[in-house]
Amino acid sequence: MTLSEIRDLLECKVLSGEDDLSIDVQQVVASDAMSEILAFAMSKELMITGLTNILSIRTADIAGVAAVLYCRGKSPEKKVIEFARSKGIPMLVTKMGMFEICGLLYSRGLKGVS
């Protein structure tokens, strides 16, 4: 599923990586605990989290995920968005909660990585 399809499905706002929405993701890693992301991400997943501080993007960079999706309408601070842009990490935000997001993506064939 491409990031642009995910954007449309979840009614996301794109905060960074507007030119990278053709990236295709097959797997998802979802958690507010960054060590859990690091433990399970194998690289190139969609990372879903409610944590919007700069460590969310540092973790995304270290774990090598394809993109970050923030849930519950939580938008990160400007410096976090700028950091994501500098690392080339696409960043989306939706008003939906984690459960709803995961349910919708699962029903479209995306899988977890645990």
Partner 1 sequence: MAEELLRERFEIQGRNFDKAGEVSGEIKVILRDLGLDAGCIRRLVIVSYEGEMNLVMYADRGALTLILTDEDVGLEIVDEGPGIPDIDLALQEGYSTASDEMRELGFGFGMGLPNMRKNSDEFRIESEVGRGTSVFAKVRLNRHD
Per rule CB under 8 A, is residue 36 in the interface with partner 1?
yes
Taking Cα atoms as reference points, which of 55, 48, 38 lies closest to residue 90? 48
88 binds partner 1 (CB under 8 A): no
Residue 39 within binding range of partner 1, rule CB under 8 A:
yes
User: From the CB of 55, what's the least distance to partner 1, in Å?
Assistant: 5
Piece of the chain touching partner 1 by CB under 8 A; list 7-15, 26-34, 89-97, 101-109: 26-34
In the DSSP assignment, the letter for residue 29 is E
Going by C-alpha positions, the residue among 103, 36, 87 that lies closest to residue 47 is: 36
Q: Does 54 bind partner 1 (CB under 8 A)?
A: yes
Considering the rule CB under 8 A, would residue 59 count as an interface residue with partner 1? yes
Please name the residue that has the structure tokens 């995910």. 6
Strand order in the sheet with 27-30: 13-16, 91-93, 67-70, 46-49, 27-30, 111-112
**Residues interacting with partner 1, by CB under 8 A?**
32-36, 38-39, 43, 49, 51, 53-56, 58-59, 61-64
